[in-house]
Amino acid sequence: MNILHVDCGTCQARGKACAECVISVLLGPMPDEIDLDEQEQAALAVMADSGLVPPLRLVSGQ
């Protein structure tokens, strides 16, 4: 199973891209961390591809 770990605290795009990120749009002010399984990732991709929500703007920081 492919889990995507979203940690907004380490996102390189934090601040400038938050307003256009699906996580902020769906969850409001950014949670610290969230894990998305394959089905959740696929659902977000379908919604983004159809224009219902913006795409994930995560740029992982190291």
Give the pTM.
0.79
The token duo for 28 is 């409001």
Domain that holds residue 35: 4-49
pLDDT of the residue at 35? 93
- In degrees, rounded to 5, the angle at the alpha carbon of residue 60 between the alpha carbons of residues 14 and 1 is 125
Is residue 61 situated within a structural domain? no
* Domains: count for the chain: 1
Is residue 15 situated within a structural domain? yes
Is residue 58 situated within a structural domain? no
CA distances from 36 to 16, 30, 53 (A): 22, 15, 16
Is residue 55 situated within a structural domain? no
Is residue 10 situated within a structural domain? yes
Instruction: Read off the pLDDT of residues 7-57 as tens digits, 9 standing for 90 and up.
Output: 888 889 888 888 899 988 888 776 678 899 999 999 999 999 999 999 999
Is residue 54 situated within a structural domain? no
pLDDT of the residue at 36? 93
d(CA 21, CA 25): 6
